[in-house]
Amino acid sequence: MGIIKELVEYSKLVWDRRLTESTGGNMSVRANNNTIYITPTFTIKHFLEPTDIVMLSIDGEKLEGDKEPSSERKMHLLIYKERSDVNAIFHAHPPYATAFAVSGEKIPINVLPEAVLLLRNIAYLPYKMPGTQEFADTFSSELKKGKDVFILQNHGVTVVGKDLKEAYARLETLEFLSKVVLILKISENKVNEMNQNNIDEFLRQRNIT
Nearest 5°: the CA angle 124, 198, 151 is 10
Secondary structure (3-state) at 49 = coil
Q: Could you say which DSSP state residue 185 is in?
A: H
Q: Residues 56-99: pLDDT tens digits?
A: 999 999 999 999 999 999 999 999 999 999 999 999 999 999 99
Q: How far apart are CA 113 and CA 27, in angstroms?
A: 26
Contact 27, 89 (CB under 8 A): yes
Active site residue 72: yes
Burial (CB count <10 Å: 0-12, 13-18, 19+), residue 201: exposed
Residue 209: pLDDT band by 50, 70, 90 thresholds?
A: low
Per-residue pLDDT of 8-37, as tens digits, reads 999 999 999 999 999 999 999 999 999 999
The number of folded domains in the chain is: 1
Q: Which domain holds residue 69?
A: 3-205
**Cβ contact 146:208 at 8 Å:** no
Q: What is the CATH number of the domain that holds 201?
A: 3.40.225.10
Annotated catalytic residue, options 72, 142, 172, 175: 72
Residues in the chain: 209
pLDDT band of residue 204 (cuts 50, 70, 90) is: confident
Residue 120 near residue 144 (C-beta atoms within 8 A): no
